[in-house]
């Protein structure tokens, strides 16, 4: 449930409500907006019969949160959340583009890719150091060496780093280098990993699993938030359907629906959604038109030579052309490209 405090409620009123809920065994989460403070209470609702919350000074109303995801729900936090990382804010009217190769293959490849996406207008660099692959014989990534190269690319370009964490064993290592921790689609419901990521004070990019419902996706976000990390960014990357011409089916309806249900920012990965580079620009623009807060795009200096996901990677010219289009599109939607 949430307790909405009156706009004239002071700190003493808020502390009184928090103390009363804590005594009843509730987990407390404060959301302090410009005009009102909302107190989220997670726990055994049967205890509420012993508490007359609306009789406490400063309480305007008590509202039950019917969804199983409490903290991720817009009922808990009416305003859209802004995720701050470095000097950037994800959410609001600014659109961010995270771009780079699927995998870190070499120093020259990564530094060249970083330069390409930086010059085109991207604000963050993506690149996999640990690569989960369907086949155990495929390239699995450079691991810690790849993380070191990402850090070098950040130093050279100023781009923030987004990279995937695979399991709890490598989490401390990845967290040492990454600015944003990515949870891949395969790990969306790896609840042990989500609990551990919740302990790290860094934003988490949570990708939707290919067969996950909206509720399952938001419940995965809830695991992270319930563990104390509210800096969750959702990423739609396509779902599995009966169509096999594209790698996945990009669910554009997820963007407005999730923004209706949740206050968390939503990004879209058109590269994994389509699996074919020629469809990435159209889906990227469609995602922004649907309200996405940013894009996650695979860019490689030479896609035919890529060790991972070359067919879905844009080359430098294609990516530069897309960024020009996005810069023209954003103002028409009342937004701006960072």
Amino acid 49: pLDDT:
72
Average pLDDT on 95-119 reads: 97
Which of the residue ranges 5-19, 28-42, 69-83, 275-289 would you say has the lowest mean pLDDT?
28-42
Average pLDDT on 250-258 reads: 98
Residue 27 near residue 44 (C-beta atoms within 8 A): no
pTM for this entry? 0.91
More confident site: 40 or 35: 40
Amino acid 30: pLDDT:
82
Amino acid 75: pLDDT:
85
Tokens coding 148: 């070191």
Can you say whether the dihedral through the CA atoms of 30, 5, 222, 263 is positive or negative? negative
Rounded CA gap, 166 and 172, in Å?
11
Burial pattern 142-180, b for ≥16 Cβ within 10 A else e, equals bbeebbebbeebbeebebbbbbbbbeeebbeebbebbbb
pLDDT bracket for residue 135 (50, 70, 90)? confident
Question: Which domains, from first to last, does the chain contain?
Answer: 2-63 (3.30.70.1140), 83-337 (3.20.20.70)
User: In degrees rounded to 5, what are phi and psi of residue 205?
Assistant: -95, 110
pLDDT bracket for residue 25 (50, 70, 90)? confident
Provide DSSP, 17-49.
Answer: HHHHHHHTT-EEEEEE-SS-EEEEEES-GGGGG
Amino acid 96: pLDDT:
98
Amino acid 175: pLDDT:
97
Residue 210 near residue 248 (C-beta atoms within 8 A): yes
- How large is the angle between the packed helices 254-261 and 214-226, nearest 10 degrees? 50
Amino acid 51: pLDDT:
81
Average pLDDT on 220-237 reads: 96
Q: Which residue has the tokens 């509420």?
A: 48
């Amino acid at each position: 449930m949430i307790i909405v405090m009156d706009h004239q409620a002071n700190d003493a009123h808020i502390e009184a409500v928090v103390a009363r809920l804590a005594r009843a065994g509730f987990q407390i989460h404060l959301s302090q907006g410009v005009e009102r403070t909302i107190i989220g209470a997670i726990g055994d609702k049967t205890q509420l019969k012993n508490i007359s919350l609306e009789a406490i000074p400063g309480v305007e109303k008590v509202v039950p949160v019917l969804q199983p995801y409490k903290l991720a729900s817009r009922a808990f936090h009416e305003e859209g959340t802004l995720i701050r990382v470095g000097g950037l804010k994800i959410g609001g009217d600014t659109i961010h583009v995270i771009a780079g190769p699927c995998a870190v293959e070499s120093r020259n490849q990564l530094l060249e890719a970083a330069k390409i996406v930086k010059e085109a207008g991207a604000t963050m660099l993506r690149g996999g150091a640990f690569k989960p692959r369907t086949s155990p014989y495929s390239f699995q990534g450079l691991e810690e060496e790849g993380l070191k190269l990402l850090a070098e690319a950040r130093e050279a370009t100023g781009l923030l780093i987004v990279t995937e964490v695979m399991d709890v064993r490598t989490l401390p290592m990845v967290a040492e280098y990454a600015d944003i921790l990515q949870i891949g689609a395969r790990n969306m419901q790896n609840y042990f990993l989500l609990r551990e990521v919740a302990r790290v004070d860094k934003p988490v990019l949570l990708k939707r699993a290919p067969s996950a419902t909206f509720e399952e996706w938001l419940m995965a976000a809830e695991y992270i938030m319930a563990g104390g990390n509210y800096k969750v960014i959702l990423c739609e990357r396509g779902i599995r359907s009966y169509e096999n011409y594209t790698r996945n089916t990009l669910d554009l309806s997820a963007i407005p629906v999730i923004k209706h249900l949740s206050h968390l920012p939503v990004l879209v990965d058109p590269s994994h959604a389509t699996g074919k580079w020629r469809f990435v620009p159209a889906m990227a623009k469609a995602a922004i038109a649907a309200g996405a807060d940013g894009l996650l795009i695979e860019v490689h200096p030479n896609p035919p030579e890529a060790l991972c996901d070359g067919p879905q990677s844009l080359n430098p010219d294609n990516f530069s052309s897309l960024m020009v289009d996005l810069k023209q599109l954003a103002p028409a939607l009342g937004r701006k490209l960072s």
